[in-house]
Amino acid sequence: MASAFAYAPAPESRSVVDIAPSYGLFIDGEFTEAADGKVFKTVSPATEEVLSEIAQAGEADVDRAVAAARKAFEKWSALPGSERAKYLFRIARIIQERSRELAVLETLDNGKPIKETRDADLPLVAAHFFYYAGWADKLEHAGFGANPRPLGVAGQVIPWNFPLLMLAWKIAPALATGNTVVLKPAETTPLSALFFADICRQAGLPKGVVNILPGYGDTGAALVAHPDVNKVAFTGSTAVGKEIARTVAGTRKKLTLELGGKGANIVFDDAPIDQAVEGIVNGIFFNQGQVCCAGSRLLVQESIHDELLDSLKRRLSTLRLGDPLDKNTDIGAINSAEQLSRITTLVEQGEAEGAERWSPACEIPSSGYWFAPTLFTNVTQAHRIARDEIFGPVLSVLTFRTPDEAVAKANNTPYGLSAGIWTEKGSRILAVANKLRAGVVWSNTFNKFDPTSPFGGYKESGFGREGGRHGLEAYLDV
Amino acid sequence: MPTTAPNAAHALADVTASDGTLRRFLHGLPGVDAVGLEARAASLGTRSIKTTAKAYAIDLAISMVDLTTLEGADTPGKVRALGAKAVHPDPTDPATPSTAAVCVYPDMVATAKAAVAGSSVKVASVATAFPAGRAPLTVKLADVREAVAAGADEIDMVIDRGAFLAGHFMKVYDEIVAVREACGTEARLKVIFETGELSTYDNIRRASWLGMLAGADFIKTSTGKVAVNATPANTLLMLEAVRDFRAQTGIQVGVKPAGGIRTSKDAIKFLVLVNETAGEDWLDNHWFRFGASSLLNDLLMQRQKLATGRYSGPDYVTVD
């Protein structure tokens, strides 16, 4: 945006976080090297700078970590809920106290704007721990029987799009209910989980209750296949989710999966247009669209298509892409070269299939992984960009004529994680929401999260709920 | 850049053909989701404006101030002091821009005019039985004519909120048109909605379009005399209205938030709203104003701080 009022750079200081040149695995309360000595590097996606060298967990390390968690389980699960709550409250408070440091760290490792880590990720992480801390001594009132028991050792595998937040979604309910955990962060974003390990020590959490094993897909596979794991929780792609389901099939392990999505954001002709535009932008460009519940399909009523698209394009032209540490950055870097190439391939396919591609004029930095905010018009249900999860800042615009058609198109996907409804008519919100097969339906907003609200999918978006009272069930023997 | 024209034949001229068409038009405007509007305003409020951008914004904000005194206790001496300050806000630094205008009651217009003579500072006068607007139309129009005759460059009128809330949109419209006429060709007209009394965002959007259709040169939030005055959200909403009105008619209308903006930080947030909503065509005191009194001193202190690297304190800016 060329304007007389050009915002000077306003970078958040990097000096608030001290990243060590190397990190070990966190097993039984200690940082340790991998048994086979393997390491991998984690880079800043905005600059490709190497941030640190991380121990890579192998099968032997998974054995060690699961054994540590098993050993810790006996005492941890026997603690009164009010005692477990104290640890969780303490963790929540430390996260708040260290939130600036963690926000900068997350932005460096993940590439998302500091505005988001500061105003969304970190407050939600702390809120999640506070929320489940509150449940720890009230489990008998949660509706799962008089004395619901924990499952044992939880093996948890989380994605790179919200590294610390996904950790919180997994660890907070697991610990509140009395389980112990072995968690594998994604290979491109291991740092905040390792800082969390340090927070566990700072909070005096008993050894072995939380174990962190950085690594690639094979580490995760070894963890979910481990015979002494009682519970598997995974957030990530549908392909990997199916693999995990096959691994776990026939065992006594309890499984929850939170997988991909192709969320429909439905805009009716009586919508509050300016706020709908904000919601569309937030729905697909929040975290560069690398959000499983992103509103990646815009379903707009044909009668307001042109007007809405004009507004949307004007708004996209004001988005500021660049240094994620700059407090005025709206669009940060794509998390990895691999993800960037996936986005690029799908977008090229969209063009080849005849959809019309548009991006605002925007300067792309010379190093790092970047993708300009993009929207496609003239998209139909038959296009791959309307069916496949792109997991990037790419919006497919489709039209509909009637509410029934909107519902039919919104549901016409193998996924079913999220949807949005934009209308000023309350009765229409309720009627449409009831017909949408999606785990989360937002009305006149999008991408709003709260620890008290259950989150999860229909169909190939997975099963099980995280958050809220419902989120306890996944970690209880019920 | 489009110029203002009196309520000429534009794309929406037939909207005001009758009470019915006007009502249907205003009620046909897209609704406003209050939560979403306020969230957007708050999110723009997190923009971090530093160094060169801050210096630019502070000078721009100073140049946009309608330096205001609207007290029963106003005297010629007070108005002359205000005029002098508007022309040279910071006597220690002649590079400081003048404010856009001084804003006074009609009986002080001549005094104000003399005080700013020879400068770029305009004289704005509130009129139409400000702030309540509860007077017969003939009285309101006489009020306006007196102010214009005394040399007012700008008239800040209040709408009849009672008529608006009772749904008599045409009455409000006709009154604005009549005031517009009384302003003649010289004076620019600012239309004050008293957004705190209109109460809902839907009403503020309707009032904005009503005012623009009737020929307002500026739409203005409030009088500064009620509990809720300018807020980021209601100003954002009005900026959307002027942006959309220009897109439909080619006519550009200014925006003036007034009341409650006291710090440089607040003022800069409003300028961010302008920049990212209406756009840079509005980043000029011909199209955007702050109705304020104490704001100016804070802007001056921040300006000195940027120049010298330290805070001086209230004794280094003038009291009025």
- pLDDT: which is higher, B318 or A59: A59
CA distance A285 to chain B (A): 15
Two tokens at A295?
């509103």
Give the best residue of B33, B239, B265, B284 to mutate against chain A (max A CB count within 10 A). Answer: B33
Residues of A with CB under 8 A from a CB of B: 3-10, 115, 119, 270-275, 278-279, 318, 327-328, 424, 444-445
Q: What is the CA radius of gyration of chain B?
A: 19
pLDDT band at B10 (very low <50, low <70, confident <90, very high): confident
**Other residues' Cβ atoms within 10 Å of the Cβ of residue A48:** 12
pLDDT band at B9 (very low <50, low <70, confident <90, very high): low
Per-residue pLDDT averaged across A360-368, rounded?
95
Residue A444 to residue B37, Cβ atoms within 8 A: no
Q: What is the mean pLDDT of chain A?
A: 97
pLDDT band at B11 (very low <50, low <70, confident <90, very high): confident
pLDDT band at B1 (very low <50, low <70, confident <90, very high): very low
Catalytic residue among B85, B113, B140, B220: B220
Residue A7 to residue B35, Cβ atoms within 8 A: no
User: What does the pLDDT read at residue B5?
Assistant: 45
The CATH architecture annotation of domain A264-443 reads 3-Layer(aba) Sandwich (3.40)
DSSP state of A382: T
Domain boundaries, chain A: 14-259+458-473, 264-443
Q: Searching chain A, which residue's CA lies closest to the CA of residue B274?
A: A5
Residue B8 lies in a domain: no
pLDDT in tens, A24-61: 999 999 999 999 999 999 999 999 999 999 999 999 99
User: What does the pLDDT read at residue B2?
Assistant: 41
DSSP state of A217: H
In sequence order, the 6+-apart residues with CB closer than 8 A to the CB of A245 are A255, A257
pLDDT in tens, A59-110: 999 999 999 999 999 999 999 999 999 999 999 999 999 999 999 999 999 9
pLDDT in tens, A289-315: 999 999 999 999 999 999 999 999 999
The pTM for the full model equals 0.96
B37 to chain A, any CB pair closer than 8 A? The answer is yes
Report the amino acid identity of residue A74. E
- Give residue B142's domain range: 22-311
User: What does the pLDDT read at residue B13?
Assistant: 87
- Residue A116: closest CA among A286, A276, A277, A281: A286
Q: Give the residue numbers of A marked as catalytic.
A: 258, 292
Per-residue pLDDT averaged across B35-63, rounded?
98
Domains A14-259+458-473 and A264-443 share a fold: no
Residue A327 to residue B280, Cβ atoms within 8 A: no
SS3 A276: helix
- Residue B39: closest CA among B237, B280, B289: B237
Per-residue pLDDT averaged across A218-242, rounded?
98
The sign of the torsion formed by the CA atoms of A254, A259, A264, A265 equals positive
Q: What is the mean pLDDT of chain B?
A: 95
Residue A5 to residue B60, Cβ atoms within 8 A: yes
Lowest mean pLDDT among A49-58, A379-388, B9-18, B89-98: B9-18
Taking contacts as CB-CB distances below 8 angstroms, the residues of chain B near A444 are: 33, 35-36
Cα distances (angstroms) measured from residue A143 to each of A463, A471, A475, B55: 20, 12, 14, 59
pLDDT in tens, B15-48: 999 999 999 999 999 999 999 999 999 999 999 9
In sequence order, the 6+-apart residues with CB closer than 8 A to the CB of A5 are B53, B56, B57, B60, B271, B272, B275, B280, B283
Total domains, chain B: 1
Which CATH number fits the domain that encloses residue B74? Answer: 3.20.20.70
CA angle A315, A320, A323 (to 5 degrees): 165
Residue A5 to residue B57, Cβ atoms within 8 A: yes
Residue B10 lies in a domain: no
CATH code: domain A14-259+458-473 is 3.40.605.10
User: What does the pLDDT read at residue B320?
Assistant: 76
pLDDT in tens, B281-304: 999 999 999 999 999 999 999 999
